A and B are shown apart, each in its own frame.
Chain A
Amino acid sequence: EVQLVESGGGLVQPGGSLRLSCAASGFTFSSYWMSWVRQAPGKGLEWVANIKQDGSEKYYVDSVKGRFTISRDNAKNSLYLQMNSLRAEDTAVYYCARSWYSYAYWDYWGQGTLVTVSS
């Protein structure tokens, strides 16, 4: 059974940092592109970043470029999102999701982890 389990969310002050993790199981992690997608409270979905199977390609939405870094460790079947210089508008549930190809759909999603940026 495919499972994606996010962790690392919490309350952080504006300007602070947080590192999210996503533990994958039930599939060959190194064969898939992985993404982070977020959802602000009561709002719609927004793609944040994605990373190629071997980590050689990474893409970001403009609003997080230079502040967030996506990475992965295929030996540990884990995906990460390092978030620096956090802003109130980064407050959201962050989901990790997998796709077989960058230009494709996300077929499995985690349950999400909530990040709250507030003083």
Chain B
Amino acid sequence: EIVLTQSPDFQSVTPKEKVTITCRASQSIGSSLHWYQQKPDQSPKLLIKYASQSISGVPSRFSGSGSGTDFTLTINSLEAEDAAAYYCHQSSSLPWTFGQGTKVEIK
């Protein structure tokens, strides 16, 4: 099973700051890494697919990078509405797995 480890677990950020969340895979997964945002009491929402590909309707301040074992989700100029938990997910090999999540709080 591929283990995904996110860091940090929690981040408290002021609006307009830049946020960087990392996701490390226990073995190489190529670019089969996706990012989701989950706001309180809502279902997850796809933010980035295949490590760096943007999703229609997702604000351009969200971007992704990386390949192999190390990946990054960047939120440029954080907005209040970005308060949420963020999860990475690998679709390289079964079982599909998620990172433990990173909670972003707005100061």
Contacts and interface: CB of A to CB of B under 8 A. Distances in A.
A and B assemble together: yes
B43 A47 contact: no
Bin chain B's interface residue count: 20 to 34
Given A44-B100, A44-B101, A47-B98, A109 B45 contact: yes
Contacts of A103: 32, 91-92
Interface of A: 35, 37, 44-47, 50, 59, 61-62, 95, 102-107, 109-112
Given A61-B95, A105-B49, A105-B89, A95 B44 contact: yes
A104 B38 CA distance: 19
B76 interface: no
Nearest to B98: A45
Contacts of A47: 95-98
Contacts of A50: 96
